[in-house]
Amino acid sequence: QQQVKQSPQSLIVQKGGISIINCAYENTAFDYFPWYQQFPGKGPALLIAIRPDVSEKKEGRFTISFNKSAKQFSLHIMDSQPGDSATYFCAASYSGNTPLVFGKGTRLSVIA
Amino acid sequence: GAVVSQHPSRVICKSGTSVKIECRSLDFQATTMFWYRQFPKQSLMLMATSNEGSKATYEQGVEKDKFLINHASLTLSTLTVTSAHPEDSSFYICSARDSQGAAGNTIYFGEGSWLTVV
C-alpha cells in the first residue's frame, strides 16, 4: 500500500516557467510534509517542509501548497532554472521517531 | 541547515568481505537515524530505524544479520554490510532526525555511500 502518491513521474519545463509536482497521502496522522531535491549520485537535500496547520509556505522560488481536507500537497517552483533539474521527492511522517514515507519521485528537466 | 556527514562516499570491496559505513550528525544530536537503500532511478527504500542505545528496528525483508546497525552515540550510527555480495552493490543513504532544531523534528540526509562489491 503506497501511502504517498506522487505525480507526475517526469516533468519537462521551459526555463522561466512554473514546475508543479503533486502528492497525495492517505494517513491522516501525518503531520510533517517535506520536499527533498536529489541530484544524481547525491543524497536528498531538504528543500522545504510544511505542517498541516498552514496552507502555504514559501521560501524563495519554492512554495508548498497544502490542502488538508483533500489530503494533498504540492510543490511549485517559480521561474524554473536549468539548475533546478533534479529528482524531487515528497514525503510525510508523523510525530515521534517514525521514518519518512516517500513518494516515488519526479524527474524534473528544465530546458532553455 | 543541519549537516549529516556520511563516510565513505564510495567504497569497493571484494565479495565475502565486510564494509562499514558511518553516518554522523555534525551539529545536532540525533536520537534516531534511518538507513535507506536506493536503486537507480528509484525512490528510497527504508532499511532500518536506528535508535541511540538500543537495537535497530529493521523493515520487513531486510536481513538484520547481514546489515548490522549500531547507534552507540547521539551523533554516530554505522551500517556494516557483512559478507558482501555483488547484489549488495547499491547507494546507501542515512538520515538523522533533529528534534531540537528551530524547525522542529526535521530529518536531514547524508550524501550517500556508493558500495560496489566485486
Which residue of B43, B99, B113 is the best one to mutate when testing the A interface, meaning the one whose CB has the most A CBs within 10 A? B43
Q: What is the DSSP letter of B9?
A: S
Phi, psi of A84 (to 5 degrees): -80, -10
Assess whether pLDDT exceeds 70 at residue A84.
yes
Query: Band of the pLDDT at A2, cuts 50, 70, 90?
Result: low
| pLDDT of B112 strictly over 90 | yes
Q: Do the beta carbons of residue B16 and residue B8 sit within 8 Å? A: no
What is the structure's pLDDT at A1?
A: 55
Is A108 near chain B, with CB under 8 Å? no
Question: Do residues B107 and B97 make contact, with C-beta atoms less than 8 angstroms apart?
Answer: yes
Q: How far is A112 from chain B (nearest CA, A)?
A: 24
What's residue A19's pLDDT? Answer: 98
Average pLDDT over residues A20-25: 98
Whether residue A48 is predicted with pLDDT greater than 70 in this model: the reply is: yes
Q: B16-59: per-residue pLDDT in tens?
A: 999 999 999 998 998 899 999 999 889 999 999 998 888 999 99
The answer for residues whose C-beta is within 8 angstroms of residue B24's C-beta and 6 or more apart is B4, B5, B6, B7, B75, B76
Identify the CA nearest to B79 among candidates B90, B97, B93. Answer: B93
pLDDT score of B94 = 97
Higher pLDDT, A80 or B29: A80
Query: Cβ of A105 and B97 within 8 Å?
Result: no
Q: Contact, B23 vs B75, CB < 8 A?
A: no
Which of B12 and B99 is assigned the larger pLDDT?
Answer: B12
**What's the 3-state SS for A70-93?**
CCEEEEEECCCCHHHCEEEEEEEE
Average pLDDT, chain A: 94
